[in-house]
Every structure is written in C-alpha cells, then in structure tokens.
Amino acid sequence: MAQFTNQAQLTYNGVTVNSNIAVGEIIELLSVSKTALASTYGTGDRITYVVSVVNSGNTTASGLTISDDLGSYVYNGSLLYPLNYSEGTARLFINGQLQSDPQVVAGPPLTFSGISVPGNSNAVIIYETEVTAAAPLDVEGFITNTATLSGDTISSVSASETVNTSISPDLTITKTIEPVPVAENGLVTYTFVIQNRGNTAADEGYNVSLRDNFDPILTAITVTLDGVVLAEGTGYTYNEQTGELVTLPGIITVPAASFSRDEDTGNWVTDPSAVTLVVTGNIRS
C-alpha cells in the first residue's frame, strides 16, 4: 500500500491561497514475497527459494516477469554472484496446482517470464540455487538476494531474503596405512588426518571422538595426537579382543579454518585446519 498527497492552489486578484493537503492510498493489486527453505548455508550447499505472487484484483495479470539477482554484490569493482540457478529445478504453481514449467533464463540475473496470475489468485515459483565460491564463509557471512516482479502494466515490486553462513565446524577424516605390504606379525601405522573446513573450532564442547575396529587386530599399540602421546584410559580405550579403538570425547579438538579472498576473482579461499592421530601396533597372529 502506497500513499500519495495532493494540494490545490487558488488564485484571485493577485492573491494565492493553498488548499489543505489531501492524502490518498493506492492498494497494490500485485504483491510478492520470498522465502528460503534454509536458514544457513555452507560450501557447495543448495538453497531452495519460494517466490509467491498474489493478485488481489479481479482480472488476470499476464506477461509478468520475476527477476532474481542471485545475491549480487560489488567487490573490488566487480559484480559477484554468490548463487547459481540449478538448471531444471523451477516449478510453477497457480492456486496450488502444478503448471507447465516457466520460461527460465539462468542469467545472472535469473529470470522467470511469461507468467499469468488470474484475478484473486496466487502463483508460486519454487527453485533451487547452488552456493558459489563468491559466497562469504566467515562467521559474519550472509547472502541477501532480491526477487523483483515486473510487467508492462504494473509498477515493479520486490522482496528480499537473507540466509546466513553456517556457524559450525565442518570436519572430514582421511586414513592411511604404512607400510604396504606389511609382514605377518609386522609393525603397522595408521594415520588419521582430521580437517576442519568450518568457521568454528571443534572444541571440547563438540565431543569429537574417533572410533575404529582394526582388522587384523593390533597389539601393543601407541597412540599420539599431533605428536603427543595419549594414555590409555584417559585419552582412549582399546579392546585387544575386538580391535576396537575409541578416543574419549573431547580429546580431539580441531581449530577453525582460516579464510581469505582471491583479489582478482573475489572468490573465497578456505585453508582448513588439521590435527593428526597416529596409531602404531603389531599385527596379532
């Protein structure tokens, strides 16, 4: 709803008199809203958006176009897009009924065209986007993108939605064995590298614990974490009958990753942190 004002002027015999200011309101017959079906995002995630158009008038609004700026922003003079449209994901509903797929130009900007909304009805477009390397990854990061509804006979109306970066660890683990091959009853070393690509440290509160069942079973094991020897019972438990090793929750902590930006492309670069757990023991015959 938009307000407008108007004032008249009366002149007579060299005298000017102003009227009072009349205030009116225009009810917009077409409105648009936008919702993300995710509250946070991380590297490579997909975000689903729902754009709703309501026609409060009595006649069909045809020839409508919805444009999505895909979260564009300027960095070092360049326009960057933290989102890409996921091809083939757009679906159009009129009053809850699935329609033929809308006309889509992936852009950027992303556009949906040829949309008609009957009077006293609503249209909903649902589509997916992919998070790009231009999306901020630090704890203060966010993506705000705007959908704009336009047409030949209407004033453009817009709606925006903001999704914040996920504030959490993002852990991965790799495992290697040496030597290969190993002699029967020989000494073997398992190395576990635990990386954190997230913007938050995996501290004691996250209760990180590593579990492995060695087969063949190891005997007389030693366990180190970044070169520091862990004691059985306080750092880990090991069952020589089953080969099960479990580190106690919170013994393993992994700092947050660090982030930087490529000054040429504006893309975010992740430098993951890592800790190394090493288990050495003899293969039991």
CATH number, position 183: 2.60.40
Measure the CA–CA gap between 250 and 202, rounded to whole angstroms. Answer: 9
Q: Would you give the DSSP letter of residue 243?
A: T
- 117 and 72: one domain? yes
Q: 182 is written with which tokens?
A: 């190993």
- 134 and 201: one domain? no
- 150 and 33: one domain? yes
Q: Does residue 225 form part of some domain?
A: yes
What was the pLDDT predicted at 285?
75
What was the pLDDT predicted at 153?
78
What was the pLDDT predicted at 74?
96
Parent domain of 272:
171-283
Number of domains, the chain: 2
pLDDT tens for 43-58 read 899 999 999 999 999 9
Residues 6+ apart with CB under 8 A from 15: none
What was the pLDDT predicted at 13?
81
What was the pLDDT predicted at 2?
55
What was the pLDDT predicted at 25?
61
- 37 and 158: one domain? yes
Measure the CA–CA gap between 31 and 70, rounded to whole angstroms. Answer: 20
- Tally of CB atoms within 10 A around 248: 15
Could you tell me the pTM of the whole model? 0.82
- 61 and 97: one domain? yes
Q: 185 is written with which tokens?
A: 């009853």
- 98 and 143: one domain? yes
In single-letter form, the type of residue at position 228 comes to V
Listed as ranges, residues in the chain with pLDDT below 50 are none
- 34 and 161: one domain? yes
Measure the CA–CA gap between 67 and 65, rounded to whole angstroms. Answer: 6
What was the pLDDT predicted at 26?
55
Nearest to 129 by CA among 66, 33, 262, 37: 37
What was the pLDDT predicted at 47?
98
Distances (CA, A) of 84 to 108, 110, 130: 8, 9, 5
What was the pLDDT predicted at 27?
54
